[in-house]
Amino acid sequence: MLGGVGLAAPAAAQGVIGTGSGRAGATVAAVVALIGVAVGGLALARSAGRIGAGNGRDGAIVALVLGVIGMLLAGLHLATSTGGVGTGNGRGGAIVALALGLIGVVLGRLALARSPRSG
């Protein structure tokens, strides 16, 4: 048991273990974009009349906004981070957040197009 702790200590000292500030920005962007995807999916289902009584318009707008915010945060992280994918700075997570943000925007747009306008 002590040998395992002795082997893990140099890795922890190098900053390999744990979430650093580089990954935190990508994680925040991914979480915001993922919430946009979830809200967009629910709004799309609501606009199709599968769940709930509303038309899904409010959820579609929220999904659009969250998707765009997630994409902006991920783009900012990609522009300011150094190194490549796999170096622990969160570039891979930011790329995933960009894709999730785009999916959230598309789902929100589809739900907005399918929901009837209310005056």
Tens digits of per-residue pLDDT, 67-117? 999 999 998 888 887 777 777 677 888 889 999 999 999 999 998 888 777
Are the beta carbons of 73 and 7 closer than 8 angstroms? Answer: no
| 81 inside domain | yes
In a domain, 5, yes or no: no
- Residue 96 domain flag: yes
* Domain count of the fold of the chain: 1
Q: Which domain holds residue 50?
A: 32-114
Query: What per-residue confidence (pLDDT) applies to 54?
Result: 65
Is 88 a member of any domain? yes
User: What is the rounded distance in angstroms from the CA atom of residue 12 to the CA atom of residue 9?
Assistant: 5
Query: Quick check: is 72 in a domain?
Result: yes
Q: Assess contact for 92 and 85: CB atoms under 8 A.
A: yes
Report the SS3 class of residue 81: coil
- Domain assignment of residue 82, yes or no: yes
CB 92 within 8 A of CB 30: no
Q: Considering the domain boundaries, does residue 20 fall inside one?
A: no
pTM of the model: 0.73
